[in-house]
Structure 1
Amino acid sequence: MRASRATAESDPAALGVLHPSARALPAPGGTEAPAAPGGDRRLSRATLALLGIATLVLSVAGSVRIGSSDIGYGELGRALGGRLGLSVEPLPPLLDSLIWDLRLPRVLLAALVGAALAVCGAVLQAVTRNALADPYLLGVSSGASTGAVAVVVLGLGAGSLGVTGGAFAGALLSFALLLLLLRRGGLDSLRIVLTGVIVGEFFAAVTALILMASGDADTTRAITHWLLGSMASARWDVVVIGAVTTAAGLAVVWGCAGALDAFAFGADTAASLGIGVRATRATLLVVAALMTSVAVASVGAIGFVGLIVPHGVRFLVGPSHRALLPFTALAGAVFLLWADALARVAFAPREVPVGVFTALLGVPLFLIVLRKRGEL
């Protein structure tokens, strides 16, 4: 007893000092501080879940209406009803195409990408025990940028890949390099962070070199717009891929929720609880990298979603990943939906890259969260 207490006092990580969420996690023995009655907590989370789902549905409907041409809820209902085979008055072909082929894929893709990035941020913050971790910590976004630039500027694989395919190939290449560099030294948190930074900086430098070599101002401007994130090229096939990837990834990481809770106490504590630390970390890194790769390849590198959303949700529902992950997905979807809607109308008819607005919205929200947590 005395020895274990001395160990805790000499090791701040055991008390969760290095990871703010660890202070409220269950103790390794499975007991939990009685912060609130179990029934009240479940009711609160159930209420939040219903509110979150309702907010997401209303946000999707509201975001479809926003744009250069206003669309009423009745017109949206008729477009959906017609596609579902219901007996409704058909819309004019141009308006029907605007809703079904342009607005709805864009809105759904924004929701899926927001959910994926937010969940990846929560996972990597737990795996690396780094409160500043986000989905781009692994260098995937830099690799995706290099792949997209190589297709547009150099024409590599332009006939078969396209920008989306090139970005995805670049993201996988950067992650393969990360795994190669981590192969011998292990998957401890510090090595993951440092190696991810190295890989990201390398591919960022390659991207800059390619852009400098192009010498075409219009191409550089178009690539820069894509790098900051845009939903303008959303299509139904991309939405389907994003939906499958996000749903499968969320299912896998939610199944590892207990391991993510244990990681907040450190690898040694997780191992003492019977968790295969190396295999679980590798699985979570692969899933996070794939989800991020699909998201970045689809819409570009949209920052701040994976950083700010998990912290805000953790403040509302607590640090347990069993609740944190689904609520983070909901919040990330709603956040990016409205950021994209704002990007469409703020400077209409010109569209601003959505990454600009996620940063503008994310910075003050992050400051508010830090203030509420007493860390600012």
Structure 2
Amino acid sequence: MNRLTLFGLSIALLAASFQCALGLGAISVDFAQVWHALLMYDSADLSHRVIVELRLPRAILAFLAGSGLAMAGLILQTVTRNPLADPYLFGVSSGASFGVVLLFALTGVQAGLALSGAAFLGSLLAMSALIVVARSQSSQQVESMLLAGVALSFLFSAATSLILYWSDPQAISAIVFWTLGSFSRADWQTLWLPALVVCMSLFCMLLFRRALNALLLGDESATTLGINVTKLRLSMLLLSSLLTAVLVAMCGGVGFVGLMVPHIVRFFISQASFSGLFITALSGGIFMLWVDIAARSVLNNQELPVGVITAAIGSVFFLSLLVLRNRSAAQI
């Protein structure tokens, strides 16, 4: 399948996914009404208000979250040359969640730039610890970063649980539901921040795609091509932390998207290309749209946490990858 055909299919699937996300839910709306609400919005019509004021910002946030987490996973997999890298497995998501929960428990702040800043500081703390471990174990950098990431994830999760234990009982339920992942807090006033960060990150990846591809050849090869490997790696790790932090602050803990989507896209197209990066971002957004549809539709009058669904799918995917890697290694 050529790149143009794959890109066209991705756009068509994205349009269909958005239409399903806007039409499906507790109140079913047919496709004609969806288009009528988007093109001729009437605030007096209940179905129009549900689509434009509730479902559309939620669908956009779900798409941005999926795209951003897929790009964050691709960045980590590239700069660490570790195909199992993911913000969730590397402890970055847990660090961001710890920062948000700590700020929420101390101040009661539930929205705004303050949460994103706290999440960014938490993710930076996790990323800094990973870098220190990787440098101290330079001979086994890939394995040590993955193991350290899993350990950090448990460490930050334990610290988050301890904060919840000491928090106000009335706030615990809200915090716990947020940590499991949800797009229910999406609104038009807060969408600008994740949209800005995701678009900026995609632009940076496209701008530095040749340098990122060179990293896959090894640090020595990239250095001979005139690339400042240390500076590029740190910049990309900061970008991944920023992406994860903003999305975690908006959506809570959503794991394994950055692991699954780049692997799936890699089966069809090289992510080193210009179109490959776009398709990775589109695929992540499409995947998260359908996860959100499932979260709203599986149970009647109830909403499943998004993070529970992605964790269930991602854990099976991760175990399958490990089995395939072990079989491939045994055949060599």
Which interval holds the TM-score relative to the shorter structure? 0.7 to 0.9
Structure 1 partner of 2:83: 131
- 1:23-62 per-position Cα deviation (integer Å, ceiling 9, x unaligned): xxxxxxxxxxxxxxxxxx7xx0010001101111110011
Structure 1 partner of 2:229: 277
User: What is the Cα deviation at residue 197 of structure 1?
Assistant: 5.4
Counterparts of residues 236-275 of structure 1 (less than 5 Å) = 236-275=188-227
Which one of the candidate residues 204, 226, 243 is aligned to 2:157? 204
Counterparts of residues 323-338 of structure 1 (less than 5 Å) = 323-338=275-290
User: What is the Cα deviation at residue 219 of structure 1?
Assistant: 3.7
CA distance in 2, matches of 1:170, 1:207: 13
CA distance in 2, matches of 1:274, 1:97: 55
User: What is the Cα deviation at residue 92 of structure 1?
Assistant: 3.5
Contact 2:94 2:123 in 1 (8 A): no
| Residues 341 and 185 (structure 1), Cα distance of their counterparts in 2 relative to 1, 3 Å cut | closer
Contact 1:59 1:334 in 2 (8 A): yes
Contact 1:63 1:341 in 2 (8 A): yes
Percent of aligned pairs sharing the same letter:
37
| Residues 170 and 56 (structure 1), Cα distance of their counterparts in 2 relative to 1, 3 Å cut | same
Which one of the candidate residues 18, 23, 32 is aligned to 1:60? 18
Which one of the candidate residues 155, 161, 173 is aligned to 2:121? 173
User: What is the Cα deviation at residue 193 of structure 1?
Assistant: 5.4
Which one of the candidate residues 98, 107, 113 is aligned to 1:157? 107
| Residues 366 and 183 (structure 1), Cα distance of their counterparts in 2 relative to 1, 3 Å cut | closer
User: What is the Cα deviation at residue 137 of structure 1?
Assistant: 5.0
1:141 aligns with 2:93: yes
User: What is the Cα deviation at residue 335 of structure 1?
Assistant: 0.5
1:92 aligns with 2:40: no
User: What is the Cα deviation at residue 173 of structure 1?
Assistant: 1.6
| Residues 109 and 364 (structure 1), Cα distance of their counterparts in 2 relative to 1, 3 Å cut | same
| Residues 317 and 368 (structure 1), Cα distance of their counterparts in 2 relative to 1, 3 Å cut | farther
Contact 1:177 1:199 in 2 (8 A): no
Contact 2:99 2:122 in 1 (8 A): no
5+ residue gaps in structure 2? none
Contact 1:148 1:163 in 2 (8 A): no
Contact 1:143 1:167 in 2 (8 A): no
Contact 1:64 1:104 in 2 (8 A): yes
CA distance in 1, matches of 2:30, 2:59: 16
User: What is the Cα deviation at residue 240 of structure 1?
Assistant: 2.0
User: What is the Cα deviation at residue 96 of structure 1?
Assistant: 2.1
Q: Output the TM-score relative to the length of structure 1.
A: 0.77
Q: Relative contact order, CA 8 A, sep 6+: which one is greater?
A: 2
SS of match in other structure, 2:309: helix
User: What is the Cα deviation at residue 225 of structure 1?
Assistant: 1.9
Q: Output the TM-score relative to the length of structure 2.
A: 0.86
Moved more, 127-136 or 175-184: 175-184
User: What is the Cα deviation at residue 301 of structure 1?
Assistant: 1.1
SS of match in other structure, 1:132: coil
In structure 2, give the amino acid aligned to 1:203.
F
Structure 2 partner of 1:352: 304
| Residues 351 and 45 (structure 1), Cα distance of their counterparts in 2 relative to 1, 3 Å cut | same
Contact 2:103 2:118 in 1 (8 A): no
Which one of the candidate residues 2, 5, 9 is aligned to 1:51? 9
CA distance in 2, matches of 1:369, 1:199: 22
| Residues 375 and 357 (structure 1), Cα distance of their counterparts in 2 relative to 1, 3 Å cut | farther
User: What is the Cα deviation at residue 100 of structure 1?
Assistant: 1.0
User: What is the Cα deviation at residue 114 of structure 1?
Assistant: 0.1
User: What is the Cα deviation at residue 93 of structure 1?
Assistant: 3.4
SS of match in other structure, 2:107: coil
Structure 1 partner of 2:61: 109
Structure 2 partner of 1:79: 37
SS of match in other structure, 1:135: coil
5+ residue gaps in structure 1? 1-40, 84-89
CA distance in 2, matches of 1:330, 1:185: 31
Structure 2 partner of 1:32: none
| Residues 79 and 244 (structure 1), Cα distance of their counterparts in 2 relative to 1, 3 Å cut | same
| Residues 166 and 144 (structure 1), Cα distance of their counterparts in 2 relative to 1, 3 Å cut | farther
| Residues 296 and 185 (structure 1), Cα distance of their counterparts in 2 relative to 1, 3 Å cut | closer
In structure 1, give the amino acid aligned to 2:261.
V
Contact 1:339 1:357 in 2 (8 A): yes
* Aligned-residue CA RMSD (Å): 2.9
| Residues 60 and 375 (structure 1), Cα distance of their counterparts in 2 relative to 1, 3 Å cut | farther
CA distance in 2, matches of 1:179, 1:370: 24
User: What is the Cα deviation at residue 298 of structure 1?
Assistant: 0.6
- 1:209-245 per-position Cα deviation (integer Å, ceiling 9, x unaligned): 11122372x6433322211210111111222221111
SS of match in other structure, 1:162: coil
Contact 2:74 2:262 in 1 (8 A): yes
